């Protein structure tokens, strides 16, 4: 059993020059799989090229809330076409982001509802992006929750209470580089949350863990995040590896 990065944009142009080297490093560091969330129409070709070239890289399909603008219906049409054309590991990433711009909230909510329905119809998990919008996102998930709806709140950095609300909905918490930051706040939250609710992620190329903070992130840094999580729980890194990999496989319904 090896590490899984449940969220990495390694098709990003920041990897264009040296992705083969990055993947070699990931293999050396014991990475088993890397899941790639889509952003919008402009990221699809690059993502599918990476998937075709590297067997451990797996594509998902969805429209990112930051790409929900006036033309979001056109964007959603492209997502739906792809979901009908072939199999993807998840619908993502989707959600609500009010950090940059609050004017698109109702469009983001509509795009989320539509994509959640596509996930349910296909029995796929969803990858949720939620930034400065926890109450809005939680409300949507509670509204749409049924036996078929499952997934992950990616890049979780919230409070213990927020973590509990997510867990109560049956969702996983995606834990990344912020867990290694001195003032990241997760040191106070994670030890109170059972390991069975966590999956690991890098969100590459963003949010590199300490000691690479501020630099380009890589899925090869997943073991650093795992090591930090082990410290926070006072258990071995092997235990964190076993639990989070099993959780990631359950999330994406892989059989190993």
Interface residue list for Zn ion (CB under 5 A): 37
Report the distance separating Cα 212 and Cα 107, nearest Å. 36
| Shortest Cβ 173–Zn ion spacing (Å) | 15
| Shortest Cβ 231–Zn ion spacing (Å) | 25
Q: Would you say 173 and 6 are in contact if contact means Cβ atoms under 8 Å apart?
A: no
Decide whether 37 or 223 has the Cβ nearer to Zn ion.
37
Decide whether 37 or 158 has the Cβ nearer to Zn ion.
37
| Shortest Cβ 179–Zn ion spacing (Å) | 16
Decide whether 32 or 204 has the Cβ nearer to Zn ion.
204
Strand 91-97 vs strand 57-59: parallel, antiparallel, or unpaired? unpaired
| Neighbouring residues of 20: CB distance < 8 A, sequence distance ≥ 6 | none
| Shortest Cβ 155–Zn ion spacing (Å) | 7
Decide whether 8 or 140 has the Cβ nearer to Zn ion.
8
Q: Within 29-71, where are the H helices?
A: 44-53
Q: Would you say 251 and 172 are in contact if contact means Cβ atoms under 8 Å apart?
A: yes
Q: At what angle do helices 222-233 and 237-251 cross, to 10 degrees?
A: 110
């Amino acid at each position: 059993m090896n590490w899984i990065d449940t969220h990495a944009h390694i098709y990003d142009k920041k990897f264009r020059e040296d992705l083969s080297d990055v993947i070699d490093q990931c293999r050396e560091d014991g990475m088993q799989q890397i899941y790639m969330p889509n952003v919008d129409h402009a990221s699809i070709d690059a993502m599918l090229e990476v998937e075709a070239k590297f067997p451990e890289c797996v594509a998902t399909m969805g429209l990112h809330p930051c790409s929900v603008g006036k033309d979001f219906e056109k964007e959603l049409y492209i997502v739906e076409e792809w979901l009908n054309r072939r199999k993807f590991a998840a619908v993502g990433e989707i959600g609500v982001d009010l950090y940059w711009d609050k004017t698109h909230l109702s469009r983001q909510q509509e795009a989320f509802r539509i994509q959640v329905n596509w996930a349910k119809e296909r029995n796929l998990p969803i990858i949720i992006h939620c930034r400065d919008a926890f109450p809005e996102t939680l409300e949507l998930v509670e509204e749409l929750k049924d036996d078929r709806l499952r997934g992950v709140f990616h890049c979780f950095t919230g409070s213990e209470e927020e973590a509990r609300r997510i867990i109560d909905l049956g969702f996983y918490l995606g834990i990344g580089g912020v867990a290694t930051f001195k003032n990241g706040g997760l040191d106070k939250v994670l030890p109170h949350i059972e390991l069975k609710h966590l999956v690991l992620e890098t969100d590459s190329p963003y949010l590199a863990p300490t000691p690479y903070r501020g630099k380009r992130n890589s899925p090869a840094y997943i073991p650093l995040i795992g090591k930090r999580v082990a410290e926070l729980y006072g258990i071995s890194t092997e235990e964190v590896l076993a639990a989070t990999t099993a959780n990631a496989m359950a999330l994406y319904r892989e059989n190993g």
